[in-house]
Amino acid sequence: DVQLVESGGVSVQAGGSLTLSCAVSGLTDRHNCMGWFRQVPGKEREGVAAISTGGGSTFYADSVQGRFTISEASARNTIYLQMNSLRPEDTAMYYCAANTRYSGSWCSRIWESEYSYWGQGTQVTVS
């Protein structure tokens, strides 16, 4: 079974930094799209960053471009989201997700509908 487990969500002050981790297990192909999404109550889930694992291409939503960095540690089966210059509007539940149908430039489509596997989420609060 595919399992994604997020960690690292905490409360931070505006302007601060935070790194989220996603431990991945059960994927049979190392070439996938791995994404980070966020959601606040009453709003749709927003794709913020994605990486083509095994290739390293990264993609970002405009709202986080230049502030967030997605990366992978393939040996540890872990995906990271480094978040800098945090703003109150970054407050959300953050989810890690896997899209096993595509890789490479297709990962630029950070759409919820493209992702089949999801973690349980980790809360980030910026005040």
Look up residue 107 and give its two tokens: 């990962």
Q: Which residue has the tokens 């970054």?
A: 90
In this prediction, residues 66-89 reach a mean pLDDT of 94
Q: Which residue has the tokens 């905490």?
A: 10
Look up residue 99 and give its two tokens: 């899209």
pLDDT recorded at residue 30: 84
Residue 14 above 90 pLDDT?
Answer: yes
Residue 41 above 90 pLDDT?
Answer: yes
In this prediction, residues 104-116 reach a mean pLDDT of 94
Report DSSP state, residue 74: G
- CA 123 vs CA 25, 42, 102: distances in Å: 21, 15, 28
Residue 75 above 90 pLDDT?
Answer: no
Are 79 and 95 a contacting pair, CB within 8 Å?
Answer: no
